[in-house]
């Protein structure tokens, strides 16, 4: 049986053949969807994911749904890696941000992948709070027809590592859903583990699903993927673009280093300016810069002495051989202790049952870990270890994230940081923060540091430049707000900028004072409230300033302002949140329940944004 196709006027087989020669199947599919979308409406202006979704025929049920719950964007990135893997298998997939996912749809899912992070000690990210609460409640439906898998992201330095992922996984099973594969828990470096998990779970799905349709990305929070380039020149351009990551950091030259605190201050805060010249690195206000430190020589010596080790002894790390001195200096975390390190050490130190007691007692464990480093552990629980055994016990030396304190528009090819040197006495020895002391003590102008950008998609300026913003920060929490104000000044944003800043003393700790005064003078900062806690007998903090301006805060929120908080998570951020609840209840004339729901909606709308640590 044959059929004929009537071509539109102006087209013939030769023209179409010439136009499509050299295009891959994926490129032809994309063009088909693109032009179909154009014919159906003005889809040419839509992102690729939406165009393709509009062009493709609707399926009765989605082959696969991916839900991600992210705080800083890592779970979203991980979800994107899974989408890429699914596309390569020809699977039809729908991707949703948990923040925008209606809980009532859960009962209709048939195949579900959950990618979710954990914040601090076991909390779900803001975007996942509502779904998490619903799932763990009595209102959650039975899900006997659902097949699912969970990828959990976390940080092993926290005791409740990947707790949110564990709770999603456990609860879905309790509701009758069947696991496609076992849950995988990822540490800070999640990309390789994500790809392995995606390959495993998609192989299971592919065995039971005859998926021939192209992937459809319906992404409520812009998890989009650019189609394959149609021009060779574009492909070359993409190939030549260098991506800087933990595996390929950029060597950024230190251009300037200034101590911001005045003489006599109890704090030690530095402003650092790094060159990005020649890198092509781009960042946005609100992003973070990852800095890879090296350990200080004195701490390395203390660890070697405590373990009775030879610095020249060879060790193998990920297939690379180097001596112990180099491994402890550049590759291994020795300035802090974490639960996973203690667990591995306990396994090679059976003669110390006290270690297992500490690990078994969840109330005792945090107290033991606090303020201790690897030298403390080796001294307190001595055991005969080889250099290789010690290397196997320790965790890789992770980079630290610092909120970027500059706008790329204001400082082309530069990135600025505000770094507070962490120094303290604990367990009879002087301690320091690995990365802050590295920058404070070891970097001088002209030196290079290994850096890359970590995008924080959930701490960004409003897309509407006319929207007002309220910025609340203490100490080094001022960093992203310097970037925000610079960015809005460069773009001539019309929205008003209000900064609330706190530190101990006006004379020694008013970070960037001259710059803020210039912004006030030029109208790029519209209001500045400061709280210097030690300048009067009764301590005064930023939450007190907010309460003093209660009516103004509430009115601005009612008029669409965005509320940003940056700084210490456990004290400052919690106190600011409580102050905001008080303000809403007081100024609205409603009760505490109303205030809690009001603030919850601000967070859900991403108008209450935190960058806390």
pLDDT digit string (tens) for 477-536? 999 999 999 999 999 999 999 999 999 999 999 999 999 999 999 999 999 999 999 999
- Environment class of residue 72 by beta-carbon count within 10 Å: exposed (0-12), middle (13-18) or buried (19+)? buried
Spatial contact of 397 and 293, defined as CB atoms under 8 Å apart: yes
Quote the CA–CA distance of 147 and 178 in Å, as a whole number: 5
Distance of CA 381 to CAs 159, 308, 333, 343, 369, Å? Answer: 21, 13, 18, 13, 14
Torsion region of 298: left, alpha or beta (phi above 0 gives left; psi -120 to 50 gives alpha): alpha
Residues 189, 407: Cα–Cα separation, whole Å: 27
Identify the CA nearest to 463 among candidates 370, 562, 377, 355: 562
Strands 314-317 and 320-323: antiparallel
Query: Structure tokens of 235?
Result: 């492909």
CA count, 13 A, side-chain hemisphere, 25: 7
Q: Which of 341, 325, 330 is nearest to 377 (CA)?
A: 341
Report the distance separating Cα 387 and Cα 325, nearest Å. 10
As given in the structure block, the two tokens for residue 590 are 């409603």
Q: Is 77 exposed, middle or buried (0-12, 13-18, 19+ CB in 10 A)?
A: buried
pLDDT given at position 224: 43
State residue 389's pLDDT score: 96
Determine contact, residues 58/88, Cβ cutoff 8 Å.
Answer: no
CA distance 439 to 291: 9
Q: What confidence score (pLDDT) does residue 48 get?
A: 33
Q: In the CATH hierarchy, which top-level class contains the domain 45-208? A: alpha beta
Q: Which helix or strand (DSSP H or E) is residue 527 part of?
A: strand 527-532
Which tokens hold the place of 410?
Answer: 């204001």
Give first-to-last CA distance, the chain, whole Å: 68
Architecture of domain 250-293+399-454: Beta Barrel (2.40)
The residues, ordered by sequence, that sit 6+ positions from 482 with a Cβ below 8 Å of its Cβ are: 405, 406, 416, 418, 512, 515
Question: Helix, strand or coil for residue 239?
Answer: helix
The helix/strand/coil state of 37 is helix
| CA nearest neighbour of 123 among 146, 155, 151 | 155
CA distance to 158, 267, 301, 582, per residue, from 425 (Å): 22, 15, 18, 37
Angle at 500 between CA 495 and CA 502, to 5 degrees: 155
10 Å CB burial of residue 579 (0-12, 13-18, 19+) is: buried
Buried b (16+ CB within 10 A) or exposed e, 239-277: eeeeebebeebbebebbebeebbeeebebbbbbbbbbbe
Q: Sketch the domain layout of the chain as residue ranges.
A: 45-208, 250-293+399-454, 297-393, 469-612
Extended beta strands in 126-216, E state: 147-153, 178-179, 184-186
pLDDT of residue 207: 82
Distance CA 92, CA 145 (A): 19
The dotted CATH code for 469-612 is 3.40.50.80
pTM recorded for the entire structure: 0.81
Same fold yes or no, 45-208 and 469-612:
yes
CATH topology of domain 297-393: NADPH-cytochrome p450 Reductase; Chain A, domain 3 (1.20.990)
Side-chain-side CA neighbours of 342 within 13 Å: the count stands at: 27
Residue-level pLDDT at 35:
52
* Token pair belonging to 453: 């950008």
Distance CA 567, CA 576 (A): 11
- How many helices (DSSP H) and strands (DSSP E) are in the chain? 23, 21
Regions of the chain where pLDDT drops below 50 = 1-11, 25-26, 28-30, 33-34, 36-62, 210-239
Q: Give the closest residue to 396 by CA, choosing from 304, 315, 454, 455.
A: 315
The pair of structure tokens assigned to 229 is 């380039």
Q: For residue 378, what are the contacts with CB-CB under 8 A and spacing of at least 6?
A: 303, 306, 307
Residues 6+ apart with CB under 8 A from 173: 179
What's residue 552's pLDDT? 98
pLDDT number for residue 92 = 86
Q: Which residues contact 567 (CB under 8 A, 6 or more apart)?
A: 473, 474, 475, 476, 477, 573, 612, 613
């Amino acid at each position: 049986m044959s059929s004929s196709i009537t071509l539109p006027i102006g087209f013939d087989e030769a023209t179409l053949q010439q136009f499509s020669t050299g295009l891959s199947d994926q490129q032809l599919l994309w063009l088909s969807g693109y032009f179909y979308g154009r014919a159906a409406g003005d889809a040419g202006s839509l992102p690729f994911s939406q165009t393709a979704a509009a062009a493709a025929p609707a399926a009765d049920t989605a082959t696969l749904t991916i839900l991600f719950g992210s705080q800083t964007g890592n779970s979203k990135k991980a979800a994107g890696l899974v989408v890429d893997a699914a596309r390569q298998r020809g699977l039809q997939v729908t991707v949703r941000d948990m923040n925008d996912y209606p809980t009532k749809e859960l009962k209709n899912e048939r195949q579900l992948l959950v990618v979710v992070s954990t914040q601090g000690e076991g909390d779900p990210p803001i975007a996942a709070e509502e779904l998490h609460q619903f799932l763990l409640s009595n209102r959650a439906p039975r899900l006997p027809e659902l097949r699912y898998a969970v990828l959990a992201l976390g940080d092993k330095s926290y005791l409740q590592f990947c707790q949110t992922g564990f709770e999603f996984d456990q609860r879905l099973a309790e509701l009758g859903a069947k696991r496609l594969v076992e849950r995988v828990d990822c540490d800070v470096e999640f990309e390789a583990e994500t790809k392995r998990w995606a390959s495993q779970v998609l192989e299971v799905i592919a065995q039971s699903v005859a998926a021939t349709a192209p992937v459809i990305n319906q992404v409520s929070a812009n998890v989009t993927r650019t189609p394959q380039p149609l021009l060779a020149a574009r492909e070359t351009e993409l190939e030549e673009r260098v991506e800087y990551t933990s595996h390929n950091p950029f060597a950024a030259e230190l251009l300037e280093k200034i101590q911001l605190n005045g003489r006599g201050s109890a704090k030690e805060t530095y402003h650092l300016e790094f060159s990005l010249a020649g890198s092509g690195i781009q960042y946005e206000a609100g992003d973070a810069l990852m800095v890879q430190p090296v350990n200080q020589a004195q701490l390395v010596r203390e660890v070697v002495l405590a373990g009775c080790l030879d610095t020249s002894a060879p060790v193998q790390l990920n297939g690379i051989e180097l001596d112990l001195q180099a491994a402890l200096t550049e590759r291994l975390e020795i300035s802090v202790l974490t639960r996973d390190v203690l667990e591995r050490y306990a396994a090679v130190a059976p003669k110390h049952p006290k270690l297992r007691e500490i690990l078994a007692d969840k109330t005792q464990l945090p107290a033991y870990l606090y303020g201790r480093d690897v030298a403390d552990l080796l001294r307190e629980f001595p055991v005969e270890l080889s250099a290789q055994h010690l290397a196997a016990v320790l965790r890789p030396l992770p980079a630290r994230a610092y909120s970027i304190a500059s706008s790329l528009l204001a400082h082309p090819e530069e990135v600025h940081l505000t770094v507070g040197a962490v120094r303290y006495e604990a367990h009879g020895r002087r301690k320091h923060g690995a990365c802050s002391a590295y920058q404070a003590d070891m970097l001088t102008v002209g030196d290079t540091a290994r850096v890359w950008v970590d995008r924080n998609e959930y701490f960004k300026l409003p897309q509407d430049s006319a929207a007002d913003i309220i910025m609340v920060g203490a100490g080094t929490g001022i960093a992203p707000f310097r970037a925000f104000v610079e960015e809005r000044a460069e773009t001539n944003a019309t929205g008003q900028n209000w900064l609330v800043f706190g530190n101990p003393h006006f004379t020694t700790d008013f970070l960037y004072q001259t710059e803020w005064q210039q912004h006030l003078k030029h109208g790029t900062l519209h209001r500045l409230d400061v709280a210097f806690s030690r300048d009067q007998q009764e301590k005064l903090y930023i939450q007190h300033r907010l309460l003093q301006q209660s009516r103004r805060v509430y009115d601005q929120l009612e008029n669409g302002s965005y509320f940003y908080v940056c700084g210490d998570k456990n004290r400052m951020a919690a106190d600011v949140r409580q102050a905001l609840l008080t303000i809403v209840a007081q100024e609205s004339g409603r009760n505490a329940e109303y205030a809690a729901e009001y603030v919850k909606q601000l967070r859900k709308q991403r108008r209450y944004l935190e960058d806390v640590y």
